[in-house]
Amino acid sequence: MLLTLTTTYSPATDLGYLLYKHPDRCQSFEMTFGQAHVFYVEANVNKCTVALLLDIDPVNLVRGKSKSRNQEGMMDQYVNDRPYVASSFLSVAIAQVFRTALSGQCKERPELAETAIPLIASLPVLPCRGGETFLRELFEPLGYQVSTQSLPLDEQFPDWGNSFYFKVKLEAVIRLSDLLSHLYVLIPVLDDDKHYWVGDEEVDKLLRHGEGWLSSHPARDKITNRYLKRQHRLTRLAFKQLTEEDNPDPDALEAANALEEEEIVEKPISLNQQRLETVITTLKERGVKRVVDLGCGPGKLLRLLLKENSFEHITGVDVSYRALEIAQERLHLERLPKSKQASIQLMQGSLTYRDERLYGYDAATLIEVIEHLDLNRLASLERVLFEFAQPRTVLVTTPNIEYNIRFENLPTGKLRHRDHRFEWTRAEFQDWSNKIAQRFGYDVKFQAIGFLDPEVGSPTQMGVFTR
C-alpha cells in the first residue's frame, strides 16, 4: 500500500522539514498492523516526492509467531484486500508517522507549514465505494484537481469489467497539514469497509481532523455518516458538534451530549457489564489461568481480564481484522508493564476451522458470539471447540429471545442486532447445550444474567460447560 506526496515548491526539499523526515534517509516504523516505511523517490530543489509504504500483515496481527495453518483451502477466510489498498490503516499511519505535519506544526519552517504550496497526492489503489462521482464529490469542493484511472477487476479477464479500485491523483495548492487531514478522514470514508465497531473516540478524531473544513463541506453528512459507520448515536453527536462548530458553547454542548449518551447507552452498558463481570467471576472461581476469548470483538472482556492478576495468559480471537485493530488500540498495551504485555495476544482466525492455536487453554469464552454464526457454521464451531480444542471450561453467553418483549425499543419479532442469525429461547439454548455436553463429554449448568423476569427469564443466558 503506497501513498506518495510530491511538491514543486522551491526549494522542494523543504518537504523534508515539514514532514520531519530527512530526504536522504529511509525510515521504518512499527505499526500494530505491520510496518510503515518512509523514503524519498526524488529529492531536489525543483521537485521532491516522498513515499509512505505500508507493509500490512493481514493474518498475524500482533506479536507472536506465525503458526497459522493453511489447511483445506481455508485461506480465503484470511485473504483480503487490506495489504494492497489505501484504507483506514493509511490514516493510522499518517497520524503516527506524520503526526507533527498533520497537526500543522514545524519548528524549522513554521511559516511554510502555514503556507499553501503545490502538492500532489498519488494513491495507486484507492477503494472508492460510491465510484468516481463520490470521489469527486469529496475532494473537488476542497479545491483539488482530481485525476482517476479505474482499475480492472482482473487484467486477464477484461470482460469482467472494472473494480471499485481507482488509481487517484489529487492536486492542489494547499497547506500540507490540510492535505493530510483530508486524506486522514476521506480515505476511510471512500473505502467504507465494514468495520465491526466504531467507538466514541472516533467522533473526536473526526472533529479534530475535520476542523475548519468538514462543517462547511457539501457532503458533510455523508462523510460523517460513513466515517462513523452509520452508527446513528455517534453520527448525531458529531452532527451536533459540527453544526455548532462556528458558535461553540462547550459547557452547554457537553451537558447535552452527556444526557443523550446516558439515555441511549446506560441500559445496554449495565447489562453488558453484568455479563462481563459474571464471566470474570466464574473464570476466577475455577482457578483459570489461561483463557481464550473467542469472537473477542473490540476487546471488552480482554480489557477486564488484563486487570486481573490471576490470568497468566490471555488470547483474543476474532475473524474481523478491524475488530482486532480496535481491540489493539483500546487495550493501550504500550502503557502496560512488559510482563503484562507479554501475557496477552490477539489472533485473527475463524472459529469454524480447526485451529491448533486454540489448544492448551484452561478456559474458552464465547460472549455473544454464537448467534452471529449461521447454524451450519455453528456445527463446525462445536467440533472445533469441544472436540478438538477441549478446554476444561467453556462459557457461552447468548441472548434469551423470550426477554425481547421487555425491550421497549425493540419492534416485535425483531432480533437484537442486525447481524444475529438467530436468538434462542431458554429451552432451545439448553437443548443445544445439553446435546453438546453429551456428545463431547462435558457437564453443563445454566445461569441467568441480568434482571430475572419471572415470566420470560433474564435478558442474557449463560451455559457453563465443564469437562
Position 373 contacts ligand SAH (CB under 6 A): yes
- Give how many residues touch ligand SAH by CB under 6 A: 17
* C-alpha cell read off for 98: 506524520
Q: How far apart are CA 212 and CA 220, in angstroms?
A: 12
Considering only 114-122, 204-212, 292-300, 425-433, which stretch makes contact with ligand SAH by CB under 6 A? 292-300
Name the residue whose CB lies closest to ligand SAH. 297
Considering only 34-42, 78-86, 182-190, 294-302, which stretch makes contact with ligand SAH by CB under 6 A? 294-302
Which of 135, 238, 319, 389 is the binder for ligand SAH (CB under 6 A)? 319
Position 399 contacts ligand SAH (CB under 6 A): no
Position 368 contacts ligand SAH (CB under 6 A): yes
Q: Is residue 147 left, alpha or beta, with left meaning phi > 0 and alpha meaning psi from -120 to 50?
A: beta
* C-alpha cell read off for 84: 494492497
Q: Considering only CA atoms, give the Rg of the chain.
A: 25
Q: How far apart are CA 264 and CA 258, in angstroms?
A: 10
* CB nearer ligand SAH, residue 14 or residue 318: 318
| Range list of β-strands (E), 75-161 | 117-127, 145-152
Which of 350, 398, 400, 404 is the binder for ligand SAH (CB under 6 A)? 350
CB of 353 to ligand SAH, least distance (A): 8
* C-alpha cell read off for 267: 441500559
Q: 1: closest CA among 132, 120, 94, 68?
A: 94
CB of 280 to ligand SAH, least distance (A): 12
* CB nearer ligand SAH, residue 307 or residue 338: 307
Residues numbered 221 to 250 that lie near ligand SAH (CB under 6 A) are none
Considering only 182-190, 218-226, 347-355, 431-439, which stretch makes contact with ligand SAH by CB under 6 A? 347-355
Q: Which residues contact 54 (CB under 8 A, 6 or more apart)?
A: 1, 2, 31, 34, 35, 36, 37, 83, 89, 90, 93
Position 323 contacts ligand SAH (CB under 6 A): yes
* CB nearer ligand SAH, residue 77 or residue 434: 77
Contact, 178 vs 74, CB < 8 A? no
Which of 21, 82, 182, 300 is the binder for ligand SAH (CB under 6 A)? 300
Which of 97, 280, 296, 437 is the binder for ligand SAH (CB under 6 A)? 296
Q: How many C-beta atoms lie closer than 10 Å to residue 128's C-beta?
A: 24
Tell me the β-bridge partners of 435. none
Q: What is the x/- site pattern for ligand SAH, positions 95-134, by CB under 6 A?
A: ----------------------------------------
* CB nearer ligand SAH, residue 295 or residue 450: 295
* CB nearer ligand SAH, residue 32 or residue 352: 352
340 in helix, strand or coil? helix
Which of 351, 389, 394, 464 is the binder for ligand SAH (CB under 6 A)? 351
Residue type, 160: W
Which of 297, 391, 450, 459 is the binder for ligand SAH (CB under 6 A)? 297
CB of 302 to ligand SAH, least distance (A): 9
Q: How far apart are CA 365 and CA 294, in angstroms?
A: 6
* CB nearer ligand SAH, residue 191 or residue 318: 318
Tell me the β-bridge partners of 117. 174
103 alpha-carbon distance from chain centroid: 23
Position 352 contacts ligand SAH (CB under 6 A): yes
Contact, 327 vs 255, CB < 8 A? no
CB of 419 to ligand SAH, least distance (A): 8
Which of 3, 62, 135, 369 is the binder for ligand SAH (CB under 6 A)? 369
Phi and psi dihedrals of 36, rounded to 5? -115, 130
Residues numbered 142 to 201 that lie near ligand SAH (CB under 6 A) are 196
Q: What is the DSSP string of 20-70?
A: T--TT--EEEEETTEEEEEEEEEESSS-EEEEEEEEE-SS--SSS------
Q: Which residues contact 315 (CB under 8 A, 6 or more apart)?
A: 291, 292, 293, 344, 345, 346, 347, 361
Considering only 5-13, 84-92, 361-369, 456-464, which stretch makes contact with ligand SAH by CB under 6 A? 361-369
Q: How far apart are CA 120 and CA 51, in angstroms?
A: 12
Position 320 contacts ligand SAH (CB under 6 A): yes
Q: How far apart are CA 310 and CA 288, in angstroms?
A: 8
* C-alpha cell read off for 217: 463541506
Contact, 122 vs 3, CB < 8 A? yes
Position 295 contacts ligand SAH (CB under 6 A): yes
Considering only 34-42, 52-60, 349-357, 405-413, which stretch makes contact with ligand SAH by CB under 6 A? 349-357
Position 367 contacts ligand SAH (CB under 6 A): yes
Interacting residue ranges for ligand SAH, rule: CB under 6 A: 196, 295-297, 300, 318-320, 323, 350-352, 367-369, 372-373
